[in-house]
Structure 1
């Protein structure tokens, strides 16, 4: 309810009240819609399937009837022209709670579920222990994303994270996006390989189109070696060449993806095709933690565990030498904790740690088909 002009200034005697300027309405840069049919109507007829042949024409049609509406994630927009009362659910609004204008990009999902999800996290860069070289690069990326126009052709566009599994590659990317409050699109490269010819290339181009429309943003492609295989290995995966070509096109900047940073991650950089690997301006190695870093990791983990750990920290530091942070947390401390709980123990004792180390060793042993 609005109260503007209800009380005349003469009624306020000598009192002067400051006039508050209305907060400017934010313009929606992008909304992603999912067709859902008639969710609030009991109807025995199947809702018509929506297939968009011309995306630009659909955007014009959508903006024409919904311009001025507030786009909130999880709410609905209803068609009042071709399919009266047909509902479209707002899956993504950037920024959320903003107004649809004549400049808003509107994307309609053709599948039942969204292909690319924005990842939101509360992880901060200080939560990532060690990996100082990678943190320095991330701070440069942060400077760029804060002011993309300042960097232009000198922008940090493509960066490769590589190293042992569980050393914090994905965690650092999440912290980067969280620190800046920018969209992070995290996708596993294996999911880019479609069932039909052209699926993978289409997904790559749609991913970068979405990232560009919500820029500044970060694309994090995990398991890069799954699609960026060296040509001598591609005979094993003949279905990846189209994905590689599409990825090269986007990484080369043929389409001006200003304000978009691509971070690739792999455990095996030597398997990457040189054409892909050469597009990364910098490669950052994620190393296994040293004694001091493992000590910090263990102390942080123990602080949050529901049972007290009787094994001395220094003993754990020695026992976990050569392990990644994820191994320490998930395969040593968590396994020991669960063992202690299963035995109704009130503390995690050294024998529980010994059990977890033994289980980890067994799982790491090579399994032979005819053993």
Structure 2
């Protein structure tokens, strides 16, 4: 059997991502973002994102194929994000994935977005160890998972955020202190000139009686808002940004390292857009080194939503001989994490302890 070539499509939010992976190697990818179109609204507008996906899909597929120096006729499977995400955006990507699979006469895999984030690290660092804790931290998700072989093994769902995701909190705090959208990169830049210990913002749910793997960032965002309201004079933006960023990084690092030690895992995998934050990466790396843990983080450009991560996950599923999905598979914007495949088809179905 020849090495499969998987076309991956990602449209869960405002990025139109396409990737081509064969045998664990990324051959080519392309990414279009509609972020600038959403900036004036201070957040992603689903209908605007869907329209942008429609316009960008065919050009991104062509570009990815050209960069990989292959044709659509060479593709042996299509993987596409079917959830979770923004419903109009998901529908565009899933429809495109079905169309390309039908046109090429190849199987379709409707995959889970978060599993894709975990899979992308395999492209740079090889297969995941047998026991690994994944910290998935992005604009829409903040989760701790126990993972291994993404195509075959059970996923142990440790915990999620109960309100705002970390990336969402970055966007909201940026707006509070007058920084542009998206908030993550803006706060990261501003924090470089600030004192991370200037303001004692809380570390949510890190007390001895708090649930150990659960996150909450709404209260931290509110603490920043209350401090800004009470402050007399010009807001020291760099200090607020640095202190808030430190609180987020400290909370993520504490819980992730503790989860590894509790689960007997010697490796922490950190993925998602917030993994690109310089302080989050730095502090998690520092804490992992102190605890004797190996930290795996994908290249920064693959931390945010992209097509390579979906192609990487599809490649794992194809090589594990997992049964594909039917062409009438539906998107699920609020999909539970039950496995790499959104609806758990085939023997590669994974299980989850708690709903996403």
TM-score interval, smaller chain: under 0.3
TM-score, normalised to structure 1's length? 0.25
TM-score by length of 2: 0.26
State which structure, 1 or 2, has the greater radius of gyration over its C-alpha atoms. Answer: 1
Higher relative contact order (CA 8 A, sep 6+): 2
